[in-house]
Chains A and B, each alone.
Chain A
């Protein structure tokens, strides 16, 4: 696929379909954070420019891609009053599936397997840890510094909670994916 927006949309459809199959709500925050993981952990070239906000890594272009997919009738986007969040589902059973290459499809499988059981608050924490980990040069020894920085910016996450998140990401070999990507770039 040559068009970046088509690739972004195909990725969102892939994520929404897998979440739907597992009967898990796929909302805006999940879309942003999983796109972040795909780009930073699984090296999927989505061309987003994530920067850090108080609510974690964010790029409004993810929302732009969702809006585009909705306007093209590829995704349904429904606001759920009960959860105060969006529910994004594929509008057509097979829309755009198969448009990604096998590596990209595998990356979506992997990111869903790794993160779909977590709530948005945990996704926010994990994505922030990954963001700061890379920012600090991908050094496991920086765990204290990472926890300190995140706690300063997001006091609602306790130091213990951040460290546990870091350890989980490390144990699942997810930080190694960032190491691998960054090493490849270097």
Chain B
């Protein structure tokens, strides 16, 4: 089947898609992603970072396809795939990559705080939402379509996201690594895209080289993604890009403050809709109601409620200010001092709050899971063969914030106004 359609997006340029993929892109469930920003209120720091999940999702499809096309011919461990099965898997991976974020709520990860609780006490995740929406709300694009020549179903895509044994094909199960792992298409796209839109030079890495050196290796008898010796330094670059994007963008003090205001706004917005949580995607009514929620709807509510403190903070850049912060890898002494300062502010009745880097969602990273295939040895973790990666410490910074109108009082209490000057 040809690829008669093309869209041009930042970072990757022209991205092709066919008639059937266009139907997914044009579906209201996917179009909604135009109205969800990738980085919520990061524009308070980087004014260019107003890009959407729509653009990112197309980028992830493009990267996943490049990874798939690169990895298949050089991975003898992917046994049992004939040409037809491989072509089916290619289409499957493209769709899974394209649709992986349809379950995001307003302000992206900010909405997960309000996800309903499962029976076992855990919160639903955006992956659960994506799976439910694809299975139940996009069914019309899977069923009875002449273009669906391989009989791909929404249930299969959901199983792929949620890692269910019903997926059946071990090679397809291995392909989950292309969409959710330390070397996945999602991460590769968002680092490059976020860096591009923020205008920062440090989120970049050599994607071409990684694609050129990517393969599956056998570790403990299971296929795992790795780069060859020639991709070693590009993988290091990826790790450094991740670290720098974390400290410079995702855990930036202003973004953290805005995220908190956005969370409070979202909570108030949901209350105004008589909702305690996001609608539950396990019911048809819940899914329909969820699909009505996007950034635009919350913005409209914010414009109607400008007198609220958190709305005012976001509309007029009057967010809480950081008064103190530890170093990125604090000593116990620093942490004790930090806790003491927080107590001082609380004792002085200043409405302070703190945030820790290790709580942030992007901190699921585990460089120990990124492998390098050396010429004559079994694949090894990058953190062991690279002295650069080996020497990195996870960021564990703590930051202390106060409302803007209490900043001066807080400085007086602490007698050390260094925190906000960075």
Give A residues with C-beta under 8 Å from B. 5, 28-29, 45, 47, 49-55, 57, 59-64, 66-68, 70-73, 79, 84, 86, 120-121, 124, 131-132, 135, 149-150, 152-156, 181, 185-186
Q: Which of A79, A124, A156 contacts B381 (CB 8 A)?
A: A79
The interface residues of chain A lying within 8 Å CB-to-CB of B180 are 51
Report which of A5, A71, A86 forms a contact with B329, defined as CB distance below 8 A.
Answer: A71
Check if A52 sits within 8 Å of B165, measured CB to CB: yes
CB pair B220 A124 closer than 8 Å:
yes
Known A152-B170, A153-B170; contact A52-B164, beta-carbon cutoff 8 A:
yes
A contact residues around B176 at 8 Å (CB): 51, 53
Query: With contacts A5-B358, A53-B177 known, is A152 near B168, CB below 8 A?
Result: yes
**Chain B: how many interface residues by the 8 Å CB criterion?**
46
Q: Within 8 Å CB of A72, what residues of B?
A: 396
Nearest residue (CB) in A for B395 is A71
Instruction: Please give, as numbers and ranges, the residues of chain B lying within 8 Å of A5 by CB-CB distance.
Output: 358-359
**B222 in contact (CB, < 8 A):** yes
Which one of B228-236, B260-268, B361-369, B405-413 contacts A? Answer: B361-369
| A-contacting 9-mer, from B56-64, B118-126, B296-304, B310-318 | B118-126
Asked if A49 contacts B222 (CB within 8 A), the reply is no
A47 close to B122 (CB less than 8 A): yes
- CB neighbours (8 Å) of B174 from chain A are 54
List B contacts of A29 (CB < 8 A). Answer: 220
Distance of A3 Cα from B393 Cα, bound (Å): 21
In the docked arrangement, what's the CA distance between A156 and B224, Å?
Answer: 15
Contacts of B139-188 to chain A: CB distance below 8 A: 162-170, 173-174, 176-177, 180-182
Kindly identify which residue among B120, B167, B220, B383 contacts A121, using a CB–CB cutoff of 8 Å.
B220
Contact between A28 and B368, CB atoms less than 8 A apart = yes
Cβ B173 vs Cβ A60 within 8 A = no
Does B275 touch A at the CB level, under 8 Å? no
A25 to B384, CA, bound (A): 18
A66 and B394 alpha carbons, distance in the complex (Å): 10
Contact with A along B112-135 (1 / 0, CB 8 A): 000000011110010000000000
Q: How many A-B pairs with Cβ below 8 Å?
A: 108
29 contacts between A and B (CB under 8 A): A5-B359, A49-B125, A52-B165, A53-B173, A55-B224, A59-B364, A60-B369, A63-B369, A64-B364, A66-B366, A67-B367, A68-B394, A71-B394, A72-B396, A73-B332, A84-B378, A131-B165, A132-B165, A149-B166, A150-B165, A152-B168, A152-B169, A152-B170, A153-B170, A154-B170, A155-B170, A181-B120, A185-B119, A186-B119
Distance in angstroms from B278 CB to nearest chain A CB is 17
Q: CB distance A149 to B165 under 8 Å?
A: yes
A148 to B157, CA, bound (A): 21
In the complex, which residue of chain B has the Cβ closest to the Cβ of A86? B368
* Interface of B (DSSP majority class): mixed
Assess whether A52 is in contact with B163, with CB atoms less than 8 Å apart.
yes
Contact A154 B222 (CB under 8 A): yes
Is B394 touching A153 in the complex (CB atoms < 8 A)? no
Measured CB to CB, the nearest residue on chain B to A57 is: B163
In the complex formed, the residue of B with least CB distance to A79 is B384
Check A67 against B119 for contact (C-beta < 8 Å). Answer: no
B221 on interface, CB distance cutoff 8 Å: yes
Residues from chain B with a CB closer than 8 A to the CB of A73 are 332
- Cα-based distance from A131 to B363 in the complex (angstroms): 25
- The reply to whether A156 and B221 form a contact with Cβ atoms under 8 Å apart is yes
B219 within 8 A of A: yes
Could you say which residues of chain A place their CB within 8 Å of the CB of B106? none
**Is A55 a contact of B220 with CB atoms below 8 Å?**
yes
> Which residues of B have CB within 8 Å of A52?
163-165, 167, 173
Contact B364 A60 (CB under 8 A): yes
Residues of A within 8 A of B396 (CB): 68, 71-72
A34: min CB distance to chain B, Å: 16
A61, B364: Cβ atoms closer than 8 Å: yes
Chain B residues positioned under 8 Å from A155 (CB to CB): 170
Enumerate chain B residues within 8 angstroms of A64, measured Cβ to Cβ. Answer: 358, 363-366, 394
* Chain B contacts for A124, CB-based, 8 A: 220
Is there an interface contact between B358 and A68, defined as CB atoms closer than 8 Å?
yes
B223 at the interface (CB under 8 A from A): yes
Q: Which residues from chain A contact B122 at a C-beta distance below 8 Å?
A: 47, 49
- Complex alpha-carbon distance, A162 and B113, angstroms: 39
CA distance A95 to B224 in the complex (A): 34
Contact status B223-A54, CB under 8 Å: yes
Bound CA span A51–B358, Å: 22
Chain A residues with CB under 8 A of B394? 64, 67-68, 70-71
